[in-house]
Amino acid sequence: MFAYRECNRIEFSECTLERNIIVVSGRNGAGKTSLLNAAKLLFLGANSESMRRIRVGDSPLNPKQFMIGVPGRWYGVFPRDGRRDGMIARVALFWEESGAAYSAERSFTLTRQGNDYTEKLQITRNGRALSLSEEDADARLQTLLPNEVVPFFFFDGEQIQSLADADVGRESAEIERLLGLSFLNDIDRQLDVYVKERRRAGLPETVRHRITEMEGEQKSEEARAESARRLRIALEEEIADLETAKARAEEARKKLRSGLSEEERSKMGARIENLRRQREALASQIASKLPLEAPFLTNLGLVDQAFRTLDDQLKAGTAASLANRLHADLPPGVIALLAALEPTVALHPRQSTELIKGLGWLLTKIGVPADSFDHPIFASVAISLRQQLRDRFLTWHQSGQETLAAHADLLRQMRALNIQLRQAQRDLDDADVVSDEAKRRYEQLTNEIEMAEAEIRRRLQETVVHEQDESRAARNAAQLSDRIRAGYEEHADVLRENKAYVLSRSVRLALQTYRQERRAAIRASVEERLRAKVAVLLGPSRLIKSASLNENFVMTYQDEDGEDVARQSISAGMRQLVAMAMLWALKEEADRPLPVMIDTPLGRIDRENRNLLMNDYFPHAGNPLVLLPTNSEFGDQGFDQLSEHICKRYEIQNHDGRSASIVELSLQVAH
């Protein structure tokens, strides 16, 4: 699996409460993250989208791409070389429960000349495979660790900051699952179905049918709202990840600057800032002056055509169809009327012709021309409204070119400012980044930042769409709920006599009350634990002295005066500490006897806070706790600090980058 070729085993059985830490170290690229991913893959499988998202900001690979690989992008789960049909990649966990020995093994087998795979999850008890379907085996594994809470036990130290950044409670469902609250939601949903069935039972057939239809529509709208909410939350998580990646790139790029004095850099920076202010002012001017008629002004040919058509219609006076009928029917009608008089007025053919010409001339003179054309677009538009439209198009017809030229000039100014700004930034970069290698790296980081910004903008736009969909669906569901309630209220006397409904509704209300009270009690307990952990891990901090949780388990932070601290003012390292404090509190509250695995455990933590993690967090963070540091992340001092708590040490050896193996080290030799 990944770069691991042979069977590699990490032994937990010798861990105790005092010696609970297992260290698996290795150089960058040796296979630490692969080990973390293998552990997550055991619980999640290849169908998990979060498992298949291989890089921050990327869309997830499909399962086959994730397992087999994508050339130039992802090697896949199976080792790169030596692939053959029947090759098996596997990961397993062994544990004891109620006096029995269990194992869970997820295996993947290559098929079709290495172009496809099969997946299997097998649970054994005392060495015998349990006869379980894939679904039942997965359900059994989830009793050990539900999919939603895997990120709370197996995580990258630098990538858990979303827990500290979240301001919309996007982890609340996962936290509820971890803390054993979700089963109450499941019972409530089942009770809701039963209550609705009992509620409808005594209603007239037509009313019951109508309400059933509306409840179906309401359920569909609620599902739409939930789907939009999940998509929005997924995008917000991706945006947070992209922001983190962008911040890292900006920090790395900043370190490459060294060629200018502080005064020179300040002058060039001031010029760039001045150009940015000019650009912002010009953008505001363009936005304020851009008329609502912009689509018309950019299509002046169509404006002219519409104006001429409207003008012709108005010059025609009477509606064209009526004018044409008058010219066609009035002259013959007058001649027919003359013939019907007593005594009869008989006209010679020449007189009839002259009369027809004369009537046509009179109609044209009074504003009813012959051969009028009524444009189908305006056929149903009243004369007064046609006049207003014609006046509006006349304005665009007369001043459109001038208005268009003025806006084009503003846009040219904006383009020139953008060119100046880019050139000023380039001048600063060229002067401040000295070596060719640094310049290449600087350019690479700049491209990464620009790509991240573009992806953030794109995802923000998608977020707005999902927010609108969510709001629209929620509004529709609320309206349907009102209509359903009104339908029931029309037959309130029937409902009062429906004892099954009254009883089931009372049971559901009691359950909801219990759920709220239990949720509040658990939230208060987690909050108390969180404050205790924050006091330990952020004790030296002058910025954050406490933390609190709202009803959705979203964290807010307080300073020594009890005032809220803005998230934007918290450094990446401090956010990592806050997230670790939350995970520590959650694990204690959940009390699940599972290993915790942390990749890059020290991340961006400074020296003072590293000591806090070493002395106060790691000895209590898990039993066992598996740490995956680089071979230089801890140093001798770090291992000295942890020596009393380290049960085993392993090293990942991977000399060619293709064949990793986990080798146990003697604690004495390692030390």
- pLDDT tens across 438-483, in order? 778 888 888 888 888 898 889 889 989 999 999 999 999 999 988 8
- SS3 of residue 49 by DSSP: helix
Nearest residue to 153 (alpha-carbon basis) of 125, 122, 177: 177
More confident residue, 416 or 157: 416
Task: Look up the pTM and report it.
Answer: 0.60
Work out the average pLDDT over 646-655.
91
pLDDT digits (tens, 9 = 90+) for 284-334: 777 776 655 666 666 666 766 776 776 666 665 545 556 667 777 777 887
Contact in structure between 90 and 106 (CB atoms under 8 Å): yes
**Quick check: 498 pLDDT over 90?**
no
Strand-strand pairing, 625-628 and 21-25:
parallel
**Tally of CB atoms within 10 A around 162:** 18
The most confident of the ranges 18-32, 247-261, 544-558 is: 18-32
DSSP state for residue 160 in the 8-state scheme: -
In the structure, what pLDDT confidence band is assigned to residue 117 with cuts at 50, 70 and 90?
very high
Structure tokens at 153: 């036990």
Average pLDDT on 51-80 reads: 82
Instruction: Indicate if the pLDDT at residue 128 is higher than 70.
Output: yes
- Identify the structural domains of the chain with CATH numbers, from first to last: 21-145+592-670 (3.40.50.300)
In terms of pLDDT, which residue wins out, 89 or 152?
Answer: 89
Q: What pLDDT shows up at residue 167? A: 47
Summarize the confidence of residues 235-241 as an average pLDDT: 79
Of residues 96, 118, 199, the one with CA closest to residue 484: 199
- Average pLDDT value for residue range 42-47: 92
Predicted pLDDT at 381: 61
Q: What is the pLDDT of residue 94?
A: 93
Residue 24's nearest CA partner among 40, 38, 36 is 36
Average pLDDT, integer, range 577-601: 82
Residue 530 pLDDT exceeds 70: yes
Residue 397's pLDDT is 64
Q: What pLDDT is stored for residue 275 in this prediction?
A: 85
Nearest to 459 by CA among 130, 623, 233, 266: 233
Among 3-12, 79-88, 376-385, 402-411, which range has the highest average pLDDT? 3-12
Higher pLDDT, 521 or 668: 521
- The C-alpha atoms of residue 1 and residue 75 are separated, in whole angstroms, by 11
Q: How far is CA 75 from CA 67, 81, 446, 453, 659, in A?
A: 8, 10, 26, 27, 13
Q: Of 25 and 310, which is predicted with more confidence?
A: 25
Bigger pLDDT: 272 vs 122: 122
Task: Tell me the average pLDDT across 582-604.
Answer: 80
User: Binning pLDDT at 50, 70 and 90, where does residue 268 land?
Assistant: confident
User: pLDDT averaged over the chain?
Assistant: 80
- Tens digits of residue pLDDT in 622-642: 888 999 998 788 877 888 888
Q: Is the pLDDT of residue 342 over 70?
A: yes
Given a cut of 70, whether residue 80 has pLDDT beyond it is yes
Output the pLDDT for position 174: 66
Residue 224: per-residue pLDDT: 92
CA distance linking residue 630 with residue 638, whole number of Å: 12
Strands 596-599, 564-565: pairing is unpaired
Please write the tens of the pLDDT for every residue from 552-561.
777 888 888 8
What are the CA-CA distances from residue 292 to residues 157, 287, 289, 509, 547 (Å)?
50, 11, 9, 53, 48
Per-range mean pLDDT, top range of 114-118, 200-204, 337-341: 114-118
* Residue located via tokens 């945006």: 239
Strands 154-156 and 596-599: parallel
Res 357 pLDDT > 90: no
Confidence grade of residue 172 (pLDDT, cut at 50, 70, 90): low
d(CA 146, CA 142): 4
Q: What's residue 89's pLDDT?
A: 93
Higher pLDDT, 395 or 583: 583
Question: CB of 466 within 8 A of CB of 475?
Answer: no
Structure-model confidence comparison of residues 297 and 217, the more confident one:
217
Cα separation, 393 vs 547, whole angstroms? 62
Residue showing tokens 């505001």: 284
pLDDT at 339 over 80: no
